[in-house]
A = this chain, B = another copy of it.
Amino acid sequence: MERKSSVDLFDTIQTLLENKKYAALRDILNTMNPVDIAAVFEDLQSEKTALLFRLLPKETAAETFVEMDEDTQELLIHGFSDTELKELIDELYVDDAVDLIEEMPANVVKRILRQADPETRKEINEILKYPEDSAGSIMTTECVILRPKMTAEEAIKRIRRTGIDKETIYTCYVTDNSTLIGIVTIKTLLLSEDDEVVENIMETNVISVNTLDDQEVVAQMFNKYNFLALPVVDGENRLVGIVTVDDAIDVMEEEATEDIQKMAAITPNTEKPYDRIGVFETYAARIPWLLILMISATFTGMIITGFEDALAGSLVLSAFIPMLMDTGGNSGSQASVTIIRALSLGEIEFKDIFKVIFKEARVSLLCGVTLAAANFAKIMLFDRLVLGNTGITVPVALVVCLTMVVTIFIAKLVGCTLPMIAKKIGFDPAVMASPFITTIVDAISLFVYFRIATAILHI
């Protein structure tokens, strides 16, 4: 079961397609996972893709289709007849159909909705109403629903009869008048006696999310509770859908990528992998933050200009500016990134802010004193003795080391509080990471540096 080198296989498929060897193509495709078939389609990008797509069995075709990027999907739909489109839509799970509709241009969406049967169309429209990134928007409505008075045997029969159209049959939902009253796994049903009644074996302590909960909350629940599926209920605790673990995994990876991108001052784009994002798109995602951060660095420049006389009087001070700025920035981002991740994973909340500040304050003092001591030794032994820079005196070294302690203290406090405050007032804490913190800490550290220098060195 070695993974095949996808490049060679791709060349083979392309050649076979050009030579119209459809039987051989069908055999190859039959041995492949839909995810890998989708990758082949994305690489092909030709009018022949519709031809190739018709070689796939109906179910595989649908599974392959949902794994493709939107450009390839659109290309394919344009090549489809109305009948083919209808067949595809019928085969898709409702949540995948919704994803498709959200990504297609208006004219394609119209065509898709026209081909969907009335009930599917209604379900799609229901889901489309939920806000972006809410639990409702990522759920599917196709789940197995059981009645509390059924026996295990009846339940299994029902699953065998209706399961083919359900996204998962492994967790079944027990409702009474649409109200969710319990869940039962197919494992429990299979391991029970045939005449056991569902309401006696179901789990009644059901953990669910509300349709309007953020998808990040959904992902956190999966991470915490090891579910395979999570029920989504409305305000009256009526079951409206489920989120399955594969969709939750996508959300987790998306949220982590988004956090990482924001931490590096990039406008997030989690829809496409790196190699499919164009140069201009990459530029557009990066330039706004670079501009904002560059402009805000004006303040640090103004501080240096303000202390130009002090700097002229002791030019040796300028050699330590990069080191102090970097150390402050690094200390601040250590704190901010740690807090941002802890907030994302639901490990801490705003109410913990004082505990967090107290902890970071102690950590920062330990770090500050250690670094200052190491730095003092380095300045006196290396910069002064080895490099022979006689401008460096003990008072100068003291100014640098004192600044370091103060800067690290402030950096860690700014770094841990800003993300928490951002979250509290409804911003994304991840934008309060390294670049932003660095800019603030730069200005503060320079100000502290020159204040301490003028006080100690009397310049």
Contacts and interface: CB of A to CB of B under 8 A. Distances in A.
A334 B286 contact: yes
A378 B298 contact: yes
B435 A333 contact: yes
> Which 9 A-B pairs give the minimum distances between C-beta atoms?
A264-B337, A297-B323, A274-B342, A226-B246, A273-B347, A300-B322, A256-B256, A301-B319, A283-B366
A237 B375 CA distance: 56
Contact of A326 (B311, B433, B438): B438
Nearest to A389: B305
16 contacts: A1-B180, A163-B191, A263-B337, A264-B338, A264-B434, A273-B348, A282-B338, A282-B363, A287-B366, A289-B334, A295-B378, A300-B323, A301-B322, A302-B387, A329-B329, A330-B438
B302 A32 contact: no
A339 interface: yes
A177 interface: no
Given A187-B169, A257-B341, A33 B207 contact: yes
Contacts of A304: 318-319, 321-322
Contact of A249 (B3, B252, B265, B315): B252
Interface string A246-263: 101110110011011101
A455 interface: no
Interface string A293-330: 11101101110110010011001101111110111011
A370 B287 contact: yes
Contacts of A163: 187, 190-191
Interface string A373-399: 011001000110001010000000000
Interface residues of A, number: 122
Nearest to A3: B207
Contact of A282 (B228, B249, B359, B434): B359
A205 B32 contact: yes
A342 B338 CA distance: 21
Report which residue of A256, A336, A367 has the largest number of chain B beta carbons within 10 angstroms of its beta carbon.
A256
A290 interface: yes
Contacts of A434: 264, 333, 434
A35 B374 CA distance: 44
B322 A321 contact: yes
Contacts of A223: 249-250, 253
Nearest to A326: B297
Interface string A26-45: 00001111010000000000
A206 B322 contact: no
Contacts of A287: 366-367, 370-371
A383 B283 contact: no
A80 interface: no
A341 B261 contact: yes
A233 interface: yes
A371 B1 CA distance: 51
Contacts of A389: 305
A432 B362 CA distance: 28
Given A321-B322, A366-B287, A261 B35 contact: no
Interface in A386-429: 387, 389
A193 to B, nearest CB: 10
B279 A330 contact: no
A338 B261 contact: yes
Given A205-B31, A225-B35, A301-B383, A367 B283 contact: yes
A215 interface: no
Given A263-B264, A273-B342, A291-B371, 7 more contacts: A160-B190, A252-B253, A291-B370, A294-B326, A298-B323, A321-B321, A329-B329
Contact of A322 (B1, B32, B333, B442): B442
A301 B294 CA distance: 22
A228 B208 contact: no
Nearest to A279: B362
Interface in A195-225: 204-208, 222-225
